[in-house]
Amino acid sequence: MASHAADSNGDIDIKSRGQQSPLASRRAMNNVGTKRFDGLFPLGYKEALGQWWASIPAAQAEHKVLSFIPYLQQPPTQLITNSAPPSASPSAASLERLHLEQASHVARTSSVEDPYGPRKWHSRLVPLSGKNRALNEFSVERVGEAADQNLVILHGYGAGLGFFYKNFEGLSRARGWQLYALDLLGMGRSSRPPFKLKSTKREEQISEAEDWFIDSLEEWRIQKKIDRFTLLGHSMGGYMAVAYALKYPGRLNKLILASPVGIPEDPYAVNAAMPEPGSSTLANEITQDQDETATATNGSIPESAKTAPRADNNNFLNARTKAEKAAAKDKDSASTDSTTAPPPRKPLGKWFTYLWDANISPFSLVRWSGPLGPRLVSGWTSRRFSHLPPDEAQALHNYSYSLFRLRGSGEYALAYILAPGAFARSPLIRRIHGVGRQYISGIEANDNNPVAGSPSEPQSSSTNAEIKRRENGVPIVLMYGENDWMDVAGGYAAKEKIDQEKRRVLKDASEEERRRDNGDSKVIIIKKAGHHVYLDGWEEFNEVMRDEMEDVRRREERGR
């Protein structure tokens, strides 16, 4: 472990500031007994003031988190300490400038005593076209090996690539793979240009908000000269991964969605002004305790799936049967007397609706609260990271706060994509079956990219100026925690939609076309994990991911 390297590179000594881990503070308060408000926000006022005063830069906070990656000689994040006096209270704009200055250099390091290496670890800011547009990138390169596969990781709403610190080492063990983790534009340590929409129509605003993120990902891909890659997206990153696959077909070998947001369809999110959050909402991300994550039961997951061996657990051979039963149940419910049907959910309070419409994000409240900001953030971090060692939990708390207090940008897209709960305004359940079935042009078909036309639809004439071809399917993996607050039923429904589309496309296909089709789908459950499956159940998550990465290679060999 290289956790000591950060101290030698100018990292602020937390103990010297008299700060206490929010987890330790919380445990102490639980022993003494305090008011409910203090239990919700366990970081003390004095500690919060000290953290706000210290103003740990985002690069430095990320550096500390990455120091927990095994085998590193030193964390790769570029460190430039703040030269401003401690008494200065930096504005959002000055924090942004400092943040960009710190990330303007490329930093790299190697792993030592590495039984799975040698490996090189890179941290860089990749500039994009336009003003103040750049993506923060963390990558792992296996030395002495020709990488012919690429894995790209996208984080969730308001998070950053540092949250995957327990996955980078395990996933980069796969030979022949190059690993990239990106901060979405306007989030993490990526640049934060103003978020503005030109459209006034609802549907166009949704598309424009999605494009704001996925167009920058495509520009990054072109700069890196990556032809095809495997894409892993968590939560909001999963939503954007689907949007990317639909807009830019022919670029993915596999799509892995870890507890993706926005799959289920909810009439209140699509038609009504605002829905009332149910059990599967973003509110749970703030309020759910880690103890609940470890012991709660997701009613959508059958007991047989929780206790079965992983092969059965991952494949869910009875998914189609369950989906059919659920559809029949919905049909029966629709035909029952209205007096027995559950009452419709009521709209949210006007104050919540106003804040959502006005794009007043939780991070805005953190920025406005000044010295109370770290205390507010501790309400989430103390619950989310309570299962981790205190030093790691403290590092993640500092990292979260350092990101939350940066200038608002990509966070403002959320209101255009999601209703106040976790339901999408343009649900993925309506679109996900199109992943891997898009018509594409400008990509030549070959053994590694076997795109073909739909068996049920005529091919364009070869005399046309542009020949349209169709993707040959993309494997889609939907991954949930056993106690995920994101409803796994959405994953089952998505799987059924994807399988239905495959049956339709291959209805009149030849044996060769069926053999080449890659449009598979499956649902995987990570045991004893919540919404952050990659962190709660990181060991099993890494193992499952390596299996999926090996599957990509097997499919390529089969297609040759």
Q: Which residues are known to be catalytic?
A: 235, 484, 531
What percent of the chain is helix, strand and coil (3-state, nearest 5)?
45, 10, 45
Q: How far apart are CA 37 and CA 44, in angstroms?
A: 11
Query: Rounded to whole angstroms, what are the CA distances from 334 to 271, 276, 342, 429?
Result: 19, 21, 11, 20
Residues 427, 264: contact at Cβ < 8 Å? yes
- Residue with tokens 């990239």, as numbered in its chain: 180
Q: How far apart are the first and last CA of the chain?
A: 41
3-state secondary structure of 504: helix
Name the phi and psi angles at 273, rounded to 5.
-65, -55
Whether residue 275 is preceded by a cis peptide bond, meaning omega within 30 degrees of 0, is no
Contact 450, 266 (CB under 8 A): no
Burial class (CB in 10 A: 0-12, 13-18, 19+), 303: exposed
Query: Residue 372's closest CA among 37, 34, 17, 3?
Result: 37
The secondary structure of 390-438 as a DSSP string is: HHHHHHHHHHHHHHHTSPP-GGGGHHHHB-SSS-BSS-GGGTGGGTT--
H or E, element range at 139 = strand 134-142
- What SS3 state is found at 182? strand
Amino acid identity of 396?
L
Q: How far apart, in whole angstroms, are the C-alpha atoms of residue 160 and residue 401?
A: 11
Residue 125's identity, in one-letter code, is L
Amino acid at 341: A
Encoded tokens for 241: 């991964």
Phi/psi class of residue 158: alpha, beta or left (left: φ > 0; alpha: ψ in -120 to 50)? Answer: left
